């Protein structure tokens, strides 16, 4: 009986089934001519079915027809032409256009020549196929599939009954099949199959050959009376299926790749064969379109690692080629949209690579006018971001109705409610609306109602638009809008299958979480001890204080760098990178500086970091930080991703950036210091799951905020199959509307009045007055609690209507009017901004800290389907009165979870810190003008001595310092800063602006003589400088006033200033020059400086805003050349901050001060007239604020090694 389970029986079974299939026969290996690379008899048989071609061949090559074709065929193969190209296009010999196969005609009937030729195709299955004339001439392939005598697919078969499986077949291809063999090289795909699994490759490369799974599921399901892999011969290898693969799926093109060893860009030719789920999904969608026609929605839930962009590319091209029985296109255009330009670029590359006819694809990444032109024209496939459709509306012609297929990437976030309306509006005509059956503009009482009905219908699913929504993590709304019966995906490729098939790595297999345990104390327990704080607000402030605490960040940063340098750096063949995910932009800026300092001081700058966050933020030291001034070469936005590819850059620190859609295969470790939940958790951690064969074997997540249970819950939701339970009730929109109406705040007349003006660009400016009048007369009198509740209920209607309107099967223009009114009215509704008791931050302190391991291992996920519940629209609850507690009671609450865990060994070094700040030797060393390195050595020794003296109290802390050298060095560096700040604070004295002006005049009159001879007098210039510093502009610019006046006061009027403090103030003048220019510009123009291409403005933009500065580079006189050099010095000093101090000796610092102060005075001298014209002169009416030295405020010790600034 055992012989029935051997490989031969398996082979016979497959060959027999195929031989009996339509358009198939069975041939022998002896009938295949290895040298001619074809079965001559079968090729001649097909050639003779082309009478016009055969007659031409006979005329020019009598008795040599077949030989001539075979000779040309082999010549083309030998010069690198693909069998795929030959099968698709054939070739021409002496005017005879030779075909090697005929694809199945879609529109032509049985009596046509093309249909007859299609039926003349013959697929041959050959067992034990000999394929070589060389030393391996005895080798045989278990099976080979030929079409009209031309070899296409090869197979190695294994049978578990004979103790062999697919792995043996893979080794056979790798070790016993010569990848340079002519036939093997020309075949399109090579399969390995056993009874249960199938694998394939398009490129044989010896031991480096990569085989991909080609299975229906992780484990192919059993089939009664058949092998589990029967889908291969019953479906995939059937004649029409192979013809479809040749015509529509198998792709061959050139691509560029990075050599793993040399890192050089190289070109190679690749053949792409679809994986099983890709083939299944596209064919399934194609079948549904044939069956249902346009106007339906489809959801494709394919995990990361599924090759989603290629699936979308296949789908786009095939939808573009689908036709109706009359030969017209089913879809006029295929539009591929996403919400991110980076993904848009990836999508475009795949779609263009799959292009057969040049010009089919139009990539619109920039310019809404270009999008409109593409839609107005005849472009078959258009790629764009969803946001462009709103801007393209004005350019669209809407001349005739068209049918569209919309392929949506990242469907759970890509199209918001308004974006969906804009997209439909851009693609619809009046005729399309009337086809809805529920829209007739003539049935409405007024043009306004008709227009509202039109807008409402734009929100619906239209009969001329089909959506194909792709996502790995569909939300409940995604299922409702696109799912099968609103409940499930039309095609599923699960996260589990992607992991099992090794297309992605399981990021939950190495998960480490830490719990931050702490004890807070009151700074001054006897002060304000009876003061009460609202509990919820107070706890929020305490949480924020903990998140900002530098000591906690320092401990975590030290752990991050230590983990990376000792473990991660050796992964992925020493190429591994890491990401630090932060909870805020300020945290990202802080972590960047702390991590950079640890790397420099402990690891001698062995690696580099990058930071990514939007806009600008003030860090914990009060400095303005942007991507441009913190990253090398000033890289921002998507350029950061490119920079991160460089070998030197190993750690990327992010806040709300690069957490979705970022594909970097060398990412191995992620450090998480923010709360993550649900889809956000999956998307963030999944940045690690990309494979990098053969080096990337695992990943690591180190989590400081979340726990294993919360991560397990998030991933379980999408690990296998997910379905939506519960129904979405569109009638609920009326209840939401009535809830708002019941307040009687506005009436129908006011709704109409606002809507009429909203659609009239000449009257839209009247809307604010109407709404403000309603607010003043009917909203302002409400209690704060009712204002809050009403505002929430209006917002709830606005949010839910945008979603529910897409599912409504009726038209009600009153709802749309109510929505249009409510949406704009909501923006004018007053709300009580939550006032947090920020004074709490100054009343508490950290006494004990332990960051303790809480989980280390694999998170086990559930291998079973899950249900996602439809979101319930709840009621807006009343505001609950917050309980009030004292500081002591609040600290008892936050400390209680760790009260029995922490002990004296967890105490931080606050006491030592305070003792050393008053140590005479330390204070004298700072005042003596010692360098930073000298101060570090002095303080390091002092710290060590103090800890040893109190070893019983600080034993645990000493262990940390001994283990984490980076933490120790950074801590000492922070202490040196505190010493310098204290030295500066104790040397501060009463500010006298008149005295300061005199000192400034004495110091700068020689330097400014040339400028004053052409412009204004120096006293007038100095008066205007201080006028600018004393004048109110906007908060984010006025922050420089005190800093600059304090710096000038100490530099010019403080006889006791030390060199180290002088350097600090010099550094401040350099760094704040950009902000000063921005404030000066605002006072002149009453507007802010704009950056290029929508980016945040930097120093270069600020210089460009002042002609007197920008034109310095063209100066020919000595004075102009001098100030041009000065300006370049300041720019260079800012850049030098990334690596070292711009000035090191006292002489250099003093000279540098003169340079930068001269530039402040120079730009003022050339701007006085502009200030006067703007009514901002010294005698003018500008708001002036008095100057006061900040309490206990000294210079921050801004060492160049820590802060980085760029133009």
- For tokens 């500066």, the residue is 984
Within a domain: 324: yes
Whether residues 138 and 75 share a domain: the answer is yes
For 159-194, the pLDDT digits (tens) are 987 789 999 999 999 999 999 999 999 999 999 999
How far, in Å, CA of 696 to CA of 1131, rounded? 42
- Angle at the Cα of 939 (from 938 to 945), degrees rounded to 5? 95
Show the domain range for 318: 280-427+462-500
Within a domain: 533: no
Query: Of 95-109, 321-335, 715-729, 1007-1021, which range is least confident?
Result: 715-729
CB atoms within 10 A of CB 866: 13
Whole-model pTM?
0.71
**pLDDT at site 48:** 97
Bigger pLDDT: 15 vs 482: 15
**pLDDT at site 810:** 77
Within a domain: 231: yes
Q: Is the pLDDT of residue 1191 over 50?
A: no
* Peptide bond between residue 694 and the one before it cis (omega within 30 degrees of 0): yes
How far, in Å, CA of 510 to CA of 666, rounded? 16
**pLDDT at site 944:** 67
Whether residues 251 and 136 share a domain: the answer is yes
Q: What is the DSSP letter of 605?
A: T
Q: Would you place residue 659 in the very low, low, confident or very high pLDDT band (cuts 50, 70, 90)?
A: confident
Q: Would you place residue 474 in the very low, low, confident or very high pLDDT band (cuts 50, 70, 90)?
A: confident
Residue ranges in 490-580 assigned as alpha helix (H): 495-500, 535-548, 550-566, 571-574
Whether residues 697 and 571 share a domain: the answer is yes
209 Cβ neighbours under 8 A, 6+ residues apart: 170, 173, 174, 179, 201, 203
Judge whether 539 and 890 are in contact, CB under 8 Å: yes
What is the 3 state secondary structure string of 357-400? CCCCEEEECCCHHHHHHHHHCCCCEEEEECCHHHHHHHHCCCCC
**pLDDT at site 1137:** 47
How far, in Å, CA of 179 to CA of 206, rounded? 6
Judge whether 387 and 416 are in contact, CB under 8 Å: no
Within a domain: 702: yes
pLDDT, average across residues 754-780: 89
For 873-907, the pLDDT digits (tens) are 556 655 666 788 787 877 787 777 767 666 666 66
358 Cβ neighbours under 8 A, 6+ residues apart: none
Bigger pLDDT: 592 vs 1070: 592
Q: Is the pLDDT of residue 1139 over 50?
A: no
CB atoms within 10 A of CB 248: 20
Whether residues 126 and 227 share a domain: the answer is yes
Whether residues 144 and 8 share a domain: the answer is yes
**pLDDT at site 518:** 78
Q: Which of 791, 819, 838 is the last residue of a domain?
A: 838
Q: What is the DSSP letter of 810?
A: S
Bigger pLDDT: 1074 vs 401: 1074
What distance lies between CA 850 and its chain's CA centroid?
33
Q: Which of 660, 689, 722 is the last residue of a domain?
A: 722
pLDDT, average across residues 1003-1025: 90
Greatest mean pLDDT range, 165-169, 329-333, 1071-1075, 1093-1097 = 165-169
Within a domain: 452: no
Phi, psi of 665 (to 5 degrees): -65, -20
Whether residues 785 and 654 share a domain: the answer is no
- For tokens 């004074």, the residue is 839
Within a domain: 843: no
Whether residues 40 and 110 share a domain: the answer is yes
Within a domain: 273: no
Whether residues 1028 and 1134 share a domain: the answer is yes
Whether residues 132 and 113 share a domain: the answer is yes
Number of domains in the chain: 6
**pLDDT at site 687:** 93
Q: Is the pLDDT of residue 437 over 70?
A: no
Q: What is the DSSP string of 399-435?
A: -S---EEEEESSTTTS--HHHHHHHHHHT--HHHHHT
How far, in Å, CA of 949 to CA of 957, rounded? 13
Is the CA virtual torsion 1154, 1158, 1161, 1163 positive or negative? negative
Q: Which of 935, 960, 985 is the last residue of a domain?
A: 985
How far, in Å, CA of 453 to CA of 813, rounded? 4
Q: Is the pLDDT of residue 17 over 60?
A: yes
Within a domain: 857: no
Whether residues 610 and 710 share a domain: the answer is yes
> What percentage of residues in the chain have a pLDDT greater than 90?
42
Return the CATH number at 324: 3.40.50.300
- Give me the chain's average pLDDT, please: 83
Bigger pLDDT: 85 vs 453: 85
Q: Would you place residue 1178 in the very low, low, confident or very high pLDDT band (cuts 50, 70, 90)?
A: low
The 3-state DSSP class for residue 1064 equals helix
Whether residues 101 and 157 share a domain: the answer is yes
**pLDDT at site 444:** 56
Whether residues 807 and 937 share a domain: the answer is no
């Amino acid at each position: 009986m055992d012989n029935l389970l051997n490989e031969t029986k398996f082979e016979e079974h497959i060959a027999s089934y195929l031989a009996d299939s339509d358009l198939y026969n069975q041939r022998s290996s002896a009938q295949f001519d290895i040298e001619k690379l074809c079965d001559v008899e079968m090729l001649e048989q097909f050639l003779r079915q082309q009478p016009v071609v055969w007659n031409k061949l006979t005329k020019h090559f009598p008795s040599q027809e077949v030989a001539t074709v075979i000779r040309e065929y082999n010549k083309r193969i030998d010069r690198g032409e693909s069998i795929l190209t030959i099968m698709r296009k054939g070739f021409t010999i002496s005017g005879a256009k030779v075909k090697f196969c005929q694809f199945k005609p879609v529109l032509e009937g049985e009596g046509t020549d093309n249909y007859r030729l299609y039926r003349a195709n013959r697929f041959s299955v050959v067992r034990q196929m000999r394929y070589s004339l060389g030393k391996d001439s005895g080798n045989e392939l278990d099976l080979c599939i030929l079409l009209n005598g031309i070899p296409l697919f090869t197979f190695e078969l294994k049978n578990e009954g004979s103790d062999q499986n697919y792995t043996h077949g893979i080794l056979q291809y790798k070790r016993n099949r010569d990848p340079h063999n002519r036939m093997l090289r020309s075949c399109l795909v090579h399969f390995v199959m056993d009874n249960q699994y199938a694998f394939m490759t398009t490129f044989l490369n010896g031991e480096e050959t990569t085989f991909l799974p080609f299975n229906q599921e992780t484990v192919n399901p059993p089939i009664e009376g058949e092998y589990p892999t029967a889908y291969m011969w019953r479906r995939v290898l059937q004649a029409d299926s192979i013809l479809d693969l040749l015509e529509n799926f198998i792709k061959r093109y050139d691509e560029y790749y990075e050599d793993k060893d040399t890192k050089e860009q190289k070109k190679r030719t690749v053949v792409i064969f679809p994986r099983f789920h890709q083939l299944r999904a596209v064919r399934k969608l194609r079948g549904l379109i044939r069956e249902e026609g346009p106007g339906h929605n489809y959801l494709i839930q394919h995990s990361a690692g599924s090759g989603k962009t290629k699936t979308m590319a296949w789908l786009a091209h095939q939808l573009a080629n689908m036709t109706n029985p009359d030969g017209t296109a089913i879809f006029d255009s295929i539009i591929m949209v996403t919400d991110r330009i980076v993904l848009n670029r990836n999508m475009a590359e795949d779609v263009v690579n799959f292009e057969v006819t040049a010009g089919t694809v139009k990539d619109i990444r920039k310019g809404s006018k270009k999008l409109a032109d593409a839609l107005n024209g005849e472009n078959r496939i258009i790629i764009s971001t969803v946001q462009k459709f709103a801007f393209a509306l004005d350019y669209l012609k809407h001349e005739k109705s068209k049918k569209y297929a919309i392929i949506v990437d990242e469907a759970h976030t890509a199209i918001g409610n308004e974006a969906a309306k804009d997209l439909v509006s851009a693609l619809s005509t009046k005729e399309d609306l009337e086809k809805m059956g529920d829209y007739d503009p003539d049935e409405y009482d007024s043009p306004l109602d008709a227009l509202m009905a039109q807008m409402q219908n734009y929100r619906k699913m239209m009969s001329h638009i089909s959506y194909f929504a792709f996502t790995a993590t569909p939300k409940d709304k995604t299922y409702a809008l696109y799912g099968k019966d609103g409940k499930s995906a039309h095609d599923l490729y699960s996260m589990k299958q992607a992991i099992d098939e090794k297309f992605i790595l399981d990021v939950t297999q190495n998960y480490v979480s830490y719990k931050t345990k702490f004890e807070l104390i009151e700074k001054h327990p006897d002060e304000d001890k009876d003061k009460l704080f609202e509990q919820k607000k107070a706890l929020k402030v305490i949480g924020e204080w903990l998140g900002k605490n530098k000591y906690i960040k320092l401990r975590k940063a030290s752990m991050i760098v230590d983990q990376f340098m000792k473990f991660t750096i050796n992964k992925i063949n020493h190429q591994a990178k890491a990401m630090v995910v932060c909870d805020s932009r300020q945290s990202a800026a802080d972590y960047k500086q702390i991590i950079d300092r640890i790397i420099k001081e402990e690891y001698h700058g062995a690696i580099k970091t990058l930071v990514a966050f939007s806009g600008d933020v003030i860090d914990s030291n009060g400095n303005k930080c942007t991507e441009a001034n913190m990253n090398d070469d000033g890289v921002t936005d998507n350029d950061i991703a490119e920079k991160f590819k460089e070998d030197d850059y190993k750690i990327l620190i992010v806040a709300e950036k690069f957490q979705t859609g970022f594909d970097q295969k060398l990412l191995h470790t992620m450090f998480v210091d923010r709360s993550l939940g649900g889809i956000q958790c999956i998307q963030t951690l999944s940045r690690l799951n990309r494979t990098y064969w053969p080096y990337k074997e695992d990943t690591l997540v180190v989590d400081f905020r979340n726990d294993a249970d919360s991560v397990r819950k998030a991933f379980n939701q999408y690990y296998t199959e997910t379905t939506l339970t519960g129904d979405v009730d569109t009638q609920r929109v009326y209840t939401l509307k009535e809830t708002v109406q019941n307040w009687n705040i506005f009436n129908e007349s006011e709704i109409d009045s606002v809507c009429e003006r909203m659609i009239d660009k000449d009257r839209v400016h009247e809307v604010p007055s109407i709404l403000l009048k309603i607010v003043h007369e009917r909203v302002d009198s409400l209690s704060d609690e009712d204002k809050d509740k009403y505002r929430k209920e209006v917002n709830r209607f606005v949010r839910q209507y945008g979603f529910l309107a897409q599912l409504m099967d009726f038209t009600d223009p009153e709802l749309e009017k109510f929505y249009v009114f409510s949406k704009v009215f909501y923006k004018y509704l007053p709300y009580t901004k939550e006032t947090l008791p920020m004074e709490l931050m100054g009343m508490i302190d950290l006494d004990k800290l332990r960051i303790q391991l809480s989980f280390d291992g694999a998170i086990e996920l559930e291998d079973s389907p899950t249900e996602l519940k439809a979101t319930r629209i709840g009621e807006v609850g009343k505001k609950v009165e917050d309980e009030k507690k004292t500081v002591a009671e609040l600290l008892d609450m936050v400390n209680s979870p760790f009260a029995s865990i922490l002990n004296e060994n967890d105490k931080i070094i606050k006491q030592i810190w305070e003792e050393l700040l008053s140590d005479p030797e330390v204070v004298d060393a700072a005042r003596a003008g010692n360098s930073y390195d000298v101060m570090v050595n002095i303080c390091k020794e002092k710290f060590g001595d103090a800890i040893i003296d109190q070893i019983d109290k600080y034993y645990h802390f000493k262990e940390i310092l001994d283990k984490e050298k980076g933490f120790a060095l950074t801590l000492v560096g922070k202490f040196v800063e505190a010493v310098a700040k204290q030295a500066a604070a104790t040397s501060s004295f009463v500010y006298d602006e008149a005295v300061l002006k005199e000192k400034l005049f004495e110091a700068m009159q020689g330097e400014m003589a040339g400028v004053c001879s052409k412009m204004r007098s120096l006293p007038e210039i100095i008066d205007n400088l201080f006028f600018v510093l004393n004048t109110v502009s906007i908060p984010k610019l006025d922050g420089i006033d005190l800093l600059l006046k304090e710096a000038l006061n100490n530099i010019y009027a403080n006889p006791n200033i030390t060199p180290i403090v002088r350097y600090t103030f010099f550094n401040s003048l350099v760094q704040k020059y950009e902000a000063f220019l921005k404030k000066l510009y605002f006072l002149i123009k009453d507007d802010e400086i704009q950056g290029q291409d929508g980016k945040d403005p930097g120093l270069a933009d600020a210089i460009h805003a002042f002609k007197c500065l920008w034109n310095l580079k063209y100066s020919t006189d000595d004075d102009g050349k001098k100030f041009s050099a000065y300006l370049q010095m300041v720019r260079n000093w800012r850049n030098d901050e990334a690596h070292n101090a711009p000035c090191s000796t006292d002489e250099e610092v003093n000279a540098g001060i003169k340079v930068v102060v001269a530039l402040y005075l120079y730009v003022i001298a050339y701007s006085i007239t502009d200030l006067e014209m703007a009514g901002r002169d010294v005698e003018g009416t500008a708001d002036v604020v008095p100057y006061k030295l900040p309490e206990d405020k000294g210079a921050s010790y801004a060492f160049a090694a820590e802060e980085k600034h760029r133009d």
